[in-house]
Amino acid sequence: MSILLIDTSTARCRIVLVDEEGVSYAHEWQADRQLAHGLLRYMSEVLDRHGETLSSLGGIGVYRGPGSFTGLRIGLTVVNTAADTQGIPIVGVMGDDWEVAAIERLRRGDDDRLVMPVYGSDARITTPRK
């Protein structure tokens, strides 16, 4: 079964599909402020392009941070929801080799069930003016 890897920690969203033979197909797009509007559609397009569906995936690996507060929040919400509704194992990983670590964890049978973001610092919450 294929594994989907997703990184939404920057304005450039990265999706990698790893098939059963270990061949990787990387796709990136400049999401900027369109991440919430386009992530699920873009995931579906990538899967369709390679003859996969969400329900056919063997797992989802996601980069959990540090990174953009909004990017991580939106990305993790989408993949957590997709994994939960489809019954797909999901793992969250940090570090430079996160993709390799995520694949290893999924192949080992790990399932975090819910991946929480790591922002790298406290959120800057502004006080309302009124």
Question: What is the SS3 assignment for 2-27?
Answer: CEEEEECCCCEEEEEEECCCCCEEEE
Question: How do residues 78-107 score in pLDDT, each as one tens digit?
Answer: 999 999 999 999 999 999 999 999 999 999
Say which residue, 128 or 39, is predicted with more confidence: 39
Q: Does position 123 have pLDDT exceeding 80, yes or no?
A: no
Give the domain CATH number at 62. Answer: 3.30.420.40
Question: How do residues 6-55 score in pLDDT, each as one tens digit?
Answer: 999 999 999 999 988 888 899 999 988 888 888 999 999 999 999 999 99
Total domain count for the chain? Answer: 1
> Which pTM value belongs to this model?
0.89
Task: Determine, yes or no, domain membership for 117.
Answer: no
Between CA 68 and CA 73 the distance in angstroms is 8
Give SS3 for 120: coil
Task: Determine, yes or no, domain membership for 123.
Answer: no
Q: Cα 6 from chain centroid?
A: 3
